[in-house]
Structure formats: structure tokens, C-alpha cells
Chains A and B, each alone.
Chain A
């Protein structure tokens, strides 16, 4: 089961689109598990949220074995800088574990037209599929059409696909099949 927790308000239509997409992508039940507040410990000096701390400190949600919890926030996320600097952060997941967070701060403007809203929803679906994929042990994929392709890649089109490539899909299905429950 995938449980979605929002840290900021989200349109019910967007949530319905998101749950349906995640169900199709992973074949797992997806539900909206309510709204919580972002933990203060995760706030950084520049007003962003530290993604790693956020996942550690976020309020717990009632889950069962193999449940995945996805936090959605509109605040920008920060990551600890690596040897070559800080990678841009669209979301972060505890690889192979339970929790992931996705930020909508870097998305193109949602707008008011049907096309712009549709594009925004598809981008949201892509980033959440990406984060949930990490929770099911998927690594980044070199295929730019796959949802597991890094979100900052130059080869990513303006409106990227929200589906997994066949390799990632098979791998995630295998992992889900072998899960405890």
C-alpha cells in the first residue's frame, strides 16, 4: 500500500490523478493518508527543507509491513553537498525503505489552463513514481523516457514521461512480488 501524506494543501483533483497513476505504475493500492506539518528540525537557514532530516523527523503514519509513505510538499528541498557540490533536489527517498518525499517547488507553474494543469499533474506523477521506485530498490535509469531517469538530466524532455521502462517495471514487479506481504 502507498500512503500519501501532504505537508501543504493540494487540489483533490491532483490527488485523484496521482493515486490512479501510482496504482497503475506499481499495481499497489494508493490512498491519501491526511495532512501533516513539516518538522521544524528539517528547516534550513535558507528556508528550504533538509530532505534527509525531513524523512527522519516527519510525523509517523500508521503503516503495515511493506507499506510505503510518500510526503508531498511545496517547499524546496535541500540535500547535503557531495564531492562535486549539491545535486538539485526534486525529491528524496530512503532507498529500499519506507519513506520518500517529493517537492513541487521546481515544477513548472501549474497555471489555469487545462494543458498546463495536465502537464503539472503528469510531472507530479512522474516525480512520485520516481521516488516510490527508489523505495522498491530501483536505481536511476539511463533511459530518458523512463520515470527513473534523473530529474535534472539534460536529455529529459520538457514534459517527461511518467511510466517506467520495461527493465525498471520488471524489476519493481519482482521486488513487489517478493515482498513480505
Chain B
């Protein structure tokens, strides 16, 4: 069996089926019901109450977490959006066990994608999503030890799964954990008669993070012109020396970063890849003409624009700067100081006396 499928593309987002047992309306809940709060575990509904918070009257659903008795309160109108769901049924739970016992040979190797997907599955994937996280990380742990963050995620997911199994099957959590691990790590010689496992959870895609698009003028204006650097000349020199257009170099960097090899370096590279790859792909056509533009041609246009913005900023600096000339004035001061002046105010001018002493030392 292959691992969980990749996320859906944006166009299919609205076609995703809702997770089974999800509570779409607070009216479906009544006191005494057992529900599962994503990432928190099984809670018992206590009731609905009205509270005055920050001058607003809110209708809240009060729940008690069964594990430790902690109180969880959710605004009634937010019940559909927080992902509350009913405790998995026996049939669902059977599917989960058949999924856990099935072969799994394809863990996601990009830790960043994996971690994000797992976090989403824990929140929006229902009991099968939690089982997917446990199984995915467990199978990965057979290849290599999990990093700390994922080890914690694995432990949390296992905790949630064990408690939901316990509540659903009506057994103590210790026994539920044995059931889970009996499926995950069967003893030697044990073979299960497995049914086809349920379909993996489909997650909605996250919106891509895009950098704010800078205005053309801002992007060009790096202040290189003021430093006397001409990008056009440099590009021409590089192209002449290497015989390779600059744009290909950009592509090569993005390509390297997109396929990280080692776990340690993976993070940085993946971040770069995520940040750079879309830019490289999307902004490339725009970047090319920008580079070809001679920097000098843009300079005269920007100069008047920049001037009003910079001047007020610089003026106060100029006003501050005159303070500096005072420093050199200090240096001659100790030299000028006559000996009787030290006697008149010895305590106040101790600091001034020190340089004089140093100077004497240097001379010696």
C-alpha cells in the first residue's frame, strides 16, 4: 500500500468530502455527548452557557476534556469551523486497524512537507488522519530515528489515537495501545486477514506563500548607482567571461535547492527552495528585462523621487553630526589643562587627567 496521497490542487478543493462524523452545527450537540476536539482529544459536552467577555455576550459550548478534566469552551458559532467531530464508530475504528496493519512503504521524505501535512491531518483528518500520522512516522522511524519535533508529533498523535480507540471500543487506554501496536508491529508468525483499508484522507491545499510584489522602481533601486556600480557592465563582463547567461544560473540554484539530500541541510535548502523556486519561475520573465536595463538609464528618474524622501532623514543626522567635532576638542583639553586646575577640581576631572597620564606613559 502506498502512503497518503499528495494534497489536492486548488481546483479540487471544494469537492473534498467532509470527514465522517464532523459536527456542522452546535445544535447537534447535547450535554453528555462525547466529541473529539482536534489536537486536544476526547471531550464530554457539559452544556451551553452565555458569558460576557470584553463587553460582548458570547454563547459558548462548555466541554470537559476526559483525560485530565480541563475545560474547553468554544463559541457556539465557531463550532462548525474548529473541526469538532463525533468519536469514531466501531466500523470506522475497524478500518483504522486494517489501515495500521497494512504494509506502508512510502513515507514522505521531505521533512517540511511531511511535518506540515501531518499537522493538518491531526487537525482535519479525523481518526484516520491521526492513524496516518502515527503510521507514517512509525514507518519512517524504521529508516532513521525521528528528529525531536517529529518525535513529539508522533507521541502526540499516538496519544490522541490511543485515547480515541479506548473511548470508541470501551476499553482502558493501556489495552487500546496494545491493540494499536499489535497492528503496527505484529509479533513474529502473526498474519492478519486484512480487508482493503479505507481511502486515505484528502487534505485541502494551503494557499501558497507569496512574497509581496515590489514595484518595479523599488526593485531596481538598490542604491548601486550611488555607489558607482553599473549592473549592466557587470552582467556583460560575466557573460563575456563565462559564456553563460545569468538567468541559467538562477535556475540552477533553484533546482539544487529543490532537492535536498541530508536532513540537517534539508531545512535550509527547503526554505530557500520554497522561497526562491516560485519567484524564479514566476518572476523570471519580469526579471530578465530588468537586468538588461542599464542602471544608468533608471538613475536620473529615481534621483528626484528619492531626494525628497532622503533629505528629511539626512537633515537631522547632519544636525547631529556637529556634535562629533566636539570629540577632537576633548583631546586638546587635557593638554591645555594646567596643573592648578587639577587641584581646584580633582574629583570632577579625574577622567580628564587619565589621558594626560597615558600620554606621559607613551612618551616614556
Contact = CB atoms under 8 A, between A and B. Distances in A.
Contacts of B93: 83
A82 B178 contact: yes
Contact of B138 (A88, A134, A142, A152): A142
Given A80-B171, A84-B192, A140-B158, 12 more contacts: A52-B171, A82-B182, A83-B94, A83-B179, A84-B183, A85-B190, A96-B173, A139-B158, A139-B159, A150-B178, A153-B187, A155-B185
A123 to B, nearest CB: 16
B105 interface: no
B169 interface: yes
20 contacts: A52-B171, A52-B172, A79-B178, A82-B97, A82-B171, A83-B93, A83-B169, A84-B179, A84-B182, A85-B182, A87-B179, A93-B174, A95-B174, A139-B155, A139-B159, A142-B141, A142-B146, A143-B145, A152-B187, A171-B155
A92 B179 CA distance: 12
Interface of B: 93-94, 97, 101, 138, 141-142, 145-146, 151, 154-155, 158-159, 162, 169, 171-175, 177-179, 181-183, 185-188, 190, 192
B188 A154 contact: yes
Nearest to A90: B178
B185 A150 contact: yes
Given A82-B178, A140-B181, A154 B173 contact: no
Contacts of A140: 158, 177, 181
A94 interface: yes
Contacts of A80: 171, 175
B145 A82 contact: no
Interface of A: 52, 79-80, 82-85, 87-89, 92-96, 134, 139-140, 142-143, 150, 152-155, 167, 171
What are the 6 tightest A-B residue pairs by CB atom distance, in nearest-first order? A82-B179, A87-B182, A95-B173, A152-B187, A142-B141, A83-B97
A84 B154 CA distance: 22
B175 A79 contact: yes
Contact of B174 (A83, A85, A92): A92
A95 B172 contact: yes
B114 to A, nearest CB: 16
Contact of A92 (B138, B175, B182, B192): B175
Contacts of A134: 174, 177
A84 B97 contact: yes
A96 B155 CA distance: 15
B68 to A, nearest CB: 9
A152 B183 CA distance: 12
Contacts of A85: 182, 190, 192
B175 A167 contact: no
